Structure 1
Amino acid sequence: MKKRWLVTLVFACLLFIPSLVFAVDFDILSYQGDLNIHADNTAIFKETITYRFGDDYNGQLVGLGKAGKMPEGFDIDPDPTVQVSKNGQIIQNVSFYTMEEEDGYKVKIYNAGYAGDTVRVTVTWKLTNLLFLYQDIAELNWQPLTDSSGDIKEFEFKVSSENPAEKLYFHTGKLFKEASIKKVNDFYQVKMKDLPRNRQVELHAYWPRSAFSEAPDQGLVSDNLIWFKRVELEIASEKASDKIVMMWLIPIVLTVLLFVGLIFYKRFKKKLVPRRNLLRTIVSMSHLWIGRQWF
């Protein structure tokens, strides 16, 4: 009786919460980030994600990170605006709520649908105190994307401001693919194909401090341009070393191991041949002795 009751309970759980048991198959066709930084060190960040679903689904989950070293007072408004379209049709009055987590916020969007649907979600956030304001430069050091739930086929990011950044760098951890970075008029554009899931994305840029004269000081009395450049030199050096290891050192080690393995195999084969010949001789002599005993 207890066993039958337990089976019934498990079946009911599977029936009412399928999204917790079965993973939904989907592709992220594109991710577009658009960051516009204002002179008072506030910003509007818009992220647009396009999904194509292979299974029926209950909704989407979109996050924004505040991980890494951020300025004191950095804040994300927990009440973003959300727009959703399905198969090219805008969905009116979509339901969603925002969850605060240790490394950022996530927006859970209630937008159920069926296999084969293409869904585009746009979430617009308000950010405060995004940049470090030193005596000489204003520095952006932000990880907006830390844990994408799927591979991103087309990745694009724009960073704009009233005065364009002097230099912008884009990092993806240990990934050896390089993104394309272009300065177009008053903004920087980053493009990349096939960004793997759960890949950390980091933006690192600087402006003259005067570009954000409307923003109040943060009490950072030191200059930082030298340290900014030193960090980027270290990252470039580390990437170059990793490429050398992957492209040259590992293939050389594998080749040497293969060569040593062939040498040992040949030596073992040479030792094995005399033993086989000796065994054949013993067998032949035993047959000869048995034959003599028979006659």
Structure 2
Amino acid sequence: MTGNTPGPARFGRPTPLGRTVKTVILTVCCAAVLIPFAGIFATSLADRAEITRSGGFVLLPHGAHFAAYQAVLSGGVVTRALVVSLLVTAVGTVLSLVSTALLAYGLSRTDSVGHRPLLMTVLFALLFAPGIIPSYLVVKQFGLLDSYWSLILPAMVNAFNVVIVRAFFMELPRELLDSARIDGAGDWTVLWRIVLPLSRAVLAVVGLFYAVGYWNSFFGALLYLNDTSKWPLQLVLRTYVVNNTALGVDQIGAGGSSLPPQTAIQMAILVISIVPVLVVYPFVQRHFSKGVLTGAVKG
């Protein structure tokens, strides 16, 4: 084939019609995602008259009213649940990253003691998840009911994340690790000084997986927590937004006898539950292709 011979049609430049169709499809997809978020945020800023006039969903508010955010963040059940979710997410993510990294590093060394049975156990846990009743009985047996640890320990190690981190560890150059051991470095030194610094990408992605899992989890709290003062934010969101239960003055903690519209309060809770993930995700997104796809495909 000479240089002047045209290549296959699939490698040609897109036609104006093709570019237009792609632009329209992409615009529609973006609008389908962004318009509901914009409506939720706008409704949380609207007043009672505007919400009533628009039928409960405001897309373009005439003014910004922050009474709903002041009400839910004034020390009531939503503020307490937000603090619980932040603490559970922070502590759980750190413990999950530490335990996952240690387990994955041990499994990445094929000469470690009990490597094969432990690897089979992790793969078995990846394929077969425990049921609700066995999980509840285990939590009850360890005395974790009505404890914050019941929201952390049952989900502390995820088999899928262990497999991803192990695959990434196994791709690290063996020569680099062997040279460190020849220089007298032990396993802890190799892990802390060499393996973990080279694995920041996969640890950032797995840390995001764990953080989002802890932040969005409500079912564990629904099963294990009887004390409503220990509820995380997502369970409050489910109770007062999904189930459409009205929030009173005593539950919100706002002063005075009047409250913002319940719809605005519900949308404000929903915005507060979404914002942390939206803030953290852009800082981790650039690590996805390197941290997950490389380890998963080649591992």
- Same-fold call, TM > 0.5? no
- Indicate the structure with greater helix content: 2
TM-score normalised according to structure 1 size? 0.22
Rg: which structure is higher?
Answer: 1
Determine which structure has the larger strand proportion and give its number. Answer: 1
When the two structures are superposed, what TM-score results if normalisation uses the length of structure 2? 0.21
